[in-house]
Amino acid sequence: MRAGDIRKAYLNFFAERGHKIVPSALLVPENDPTTLFTGSGMQPIVPYLLGEPHPLGTRIMDSQKCFRAGDIEEVGDNRHTTFFEMLGNWSFGDYFKQEQITWMWEFLTEKMGLDPQHLFFTCFRGNAELGIPKDTESALLWQKLFAAKGIDAKIGENPETDGIREGEKIFYYSEKKNWWSRSGMPGNMPLGEPGGPDTEMFWDFGAEHDFHRESQWKDAPCHVNCDCGRFMEIGNNVFMEYRKTAVGFEKLKQKNVDYGGGLERLIAAKKNDPDMFLGDIFDTLRETLKKLSGKKYGEDSKQTFAFRVIMDHMRAATFLIADGVLPSNTDQGYVLRRLLRRAVRFADMLGMVPGSLSLCVAAVVSEYQEAYPYLIEKKGFIVSVIGNEEAKFRETLARGMKELEKRLSEAALNGKDAFELFSTYGFPLEMTEEIAKEKGVTIEREEFQREFTKHQELSRTASAGKFKGGLADHSAKVIAFHTATHLMLAGLRKYLGQDVHQAGSNITEERTRFDFTHPEKVSREVLDKVEIYVNEAIEKKCAMITEVMEKNKAKEAGVEGSFWEKYPDKVTVYKVKADDGTVYSQELCGGPHVANTEDIKGRFKIIKEEASSAGVRRIKAILE
């Protein structure tokens, strides 16, 4: 079975059992300021676990794109990735342990054809202090399913100390391993958060390969949660029935099932190969890198490490950019920049031609276009963003590496030096740390942060006193420019495409300065068309109409808006509408605006268009 076959088989299997498919959420969560990225399949559905009715019913499933930034520096071994797909199914107060465990056994052994002799399972040991009992029900269900296959599966009580005794296939662990919530163990959970015991599923690559004996853990007992590499977790069934309270835990109004299983890990199990990067989902990308570098995967450990870094980071970057993230020095954009710049470094180690990283995008799109067809239309934009970011980094990379090596040779690299490398040469702190670590040097993060904070405070003085939306004040001229800027954005989207979005603005009585997402210079011909579009709307004396709408309906209606997650459920839409019914602009905004475009009083003219940052252009315009 190939990756696409497993994805289809899983979704069809649960569709036959009454589940409705939910489209994958974006990698950047909406309405969740607590996290930068969607890191699990359950992240978008927390309200339904707490009892809110789901519009599709009590049984849903998905294949969710996920990204975990905490794993960036771990990527390079055979099983860590930042981007992955999580197959998931949920029951909201419907079925529970009996059905879920039986179905997962059937899917793994019958639909995927996995050998049950290679399957192992873990269950929650219970915690008397928390008032949560031992999950004997799940353990006995797995034992019964083994028995039906003629396997006498014994249950291990203390695998961390006893290891795996003869015949043991099911094991009990504490909440450190067999409890799931978004925040981790019970002690880390905030009040009101749902969680519950889980039963995890593992694949055994085989004791005969000596994974344990050759690992750093060789002197401790091997068990399914050992990090030696013999076992790989391929899925987790969470029985979400508790909520954290001020005094402990209470039962939720309904018992929920939350299953998540990594597609890449299921591929590894099916191949019985612990190297996830040898899965077919990476075949096209791996072959592309072979052609671009002249090197082969698996020939040399350092080369193989570099292959894995580039394969993971380019796949992740492709999806992040497709979901609206652009390289920057803050938040999601900073993480994307780290990925791309780390990939550049390892591309150089493979001897790839500078500027060739963006050629990897086609390989990613070809592998995922059936499951995620929106990648096809965004392919050109993604290539441009990655190409621009690599070119920008290469302007300073050689000088930065020379400076870094000089300081390392002098054993004088500190947090202040790391900040200078960041501010002068564009080296993300984590990249400097990784290179320094190879030389046995540790960087003082606190000193870096002090320098970074000083830099931020100096930068803030330039923008002090601005009103929301980038307005310098609420004078008539500034308000006129504000409305004209809305019209300009609508014109840009009309002539450049729907990938154009606001990336920032600063409006004064003299001019508007507007940043927008676009990978390349805008021709004068297009700028002239945008000017005509704006001035036509001014000449038609269009009315400014405000309408309060539900946010989801506004999105469906094609209303333009940046940072949707910052708006409440009810939003104000400003429409510029002519008497003939033509809508020149419809956009989310907090105002203020002119009542009619005739109040703009002037002819709109674009006087400058230039690069602002990678993937972002800047326009300056005036009213004559």
The per-residue pLDDT for 151 is 97
Q: For residues 131 and 179, state if they share a domain.
A: yes
Q: For residues 172 and 59, state if they share a domain.
A: yes
Our measurement of the distance from residue 334's CA atom to the centroid of its chain's CA atoms, rounded to an integer in Å, reads: 13
SS3 content of the chain, % helix, strand, coil (to 5): 45, 20, 35
Q: For residues 409 and 515, state if they share a domain.
A: no
Q: Taking Cα atoms as reference points, which of 37, 107, 109 lies closest to residue 67?
A: 37
Q: Residues 85, 94: contact at Cβ < 8 Å?
A: no
Q: Choose one of 235, 258, 278: the last residue of a domain.
A: 278
The per-residue pLDDT for 422 is 81
Q: For residues 98 and 84, state if they share a domain.
A: yes
- Between the CA of residue 460 and those of 39, 354, 418, what are the distances in Å? 32, 36, 22
Q: For residues 153 and 254, state if they share a domain.
A: yes
Q: Choose one of 261, 278, 295: the last residue of a domain.
A: 278
CATH number assigned to the domain comprising residue 31: 3.30.930.10
CA distance 303 to 76: 10
- Between the CA of residue 590 and those of 120, 473, 508, 564, 584, what are the distances in Å? 55, 14, 17, 12, 18
Q: For residues 129 and 233, state if they share a domain.
A: yes
Residue numbers of the domain that contains 607: 468-623
Q: Which residues pair with 209 in a beta bridge?
A: none
Q: Residues 582, 539: contact at Cβ < 8 Å?
A: no
CA distance 521 to 530: 14
3-state secondary structure of 512: strand
Q: Which residues pair with 173 in a beta bridge?
A: 124
Q: For residues 128 and 266, state if they share a domain.
A: yes
For 57-71, how does the pLDDT look when each residue is reduced to its tens digit (9 = 90+)?
999 999 999 999 877
Q: For residues 531 and 553, state if they share a domain.
A: yes
- Between the CA of residue 388 and those of 55, 257, 282, what are the distances in Å? 42, 44, 25
Q: Which residues pair with 616 in a beta bridge?
A: 517, 613
In the chain, which stretches have pLDDT less than 50? 459-473, 566
CA distance 427 to 439: 17
The per-residue pLDDT for 473 is 47
For 315-338, how does the pLDDT look when each residue is reduced to its tens digit (9 = 90+)?
999 999 999 899 987 788 889 998
The residue whose two tokens read 């612990």 is 274
Query: Whole-model pTM above 0.75?
Result: no
Q: For residues 498 and 570, state if they share a domain.
A: yes
Q: Report DSSP state, residue 109.
A: I
Q: For residues 185 and 310, state if they share a domain.
A: no
The per-residue pLDDT for 590 is 67
Tokens (6 digits) for 581? 């019914």
Q: Choose one of 225, 254, 278: the last residue of a domain.
A: 278
CA distance 554 to 589: 12
Q: Taking Cα atoms as reference points, which of 393, 388, 304 lies closest to residue 346?
A: 304
Q: For residues 422 and 479, state if they share a domain.
A: no
CATH number assigned to the domain comprising residue 579: 3.30.980.10
What is the rounded radius of gyration, in angstroms, for the C-alpha atoms of the chain? Answer: 27
The per-residue pLDDT for 77 is 92
CA distance 345 to 348: 5
For 420-440, how does the pLDDT look when each residue is reduced to its tens digit (9 = 90+)?
888 777 787 888 888 888 888
Q: For residues 265 and 287, state if they share a domain.
A: no
Number of domains in the chain: 3
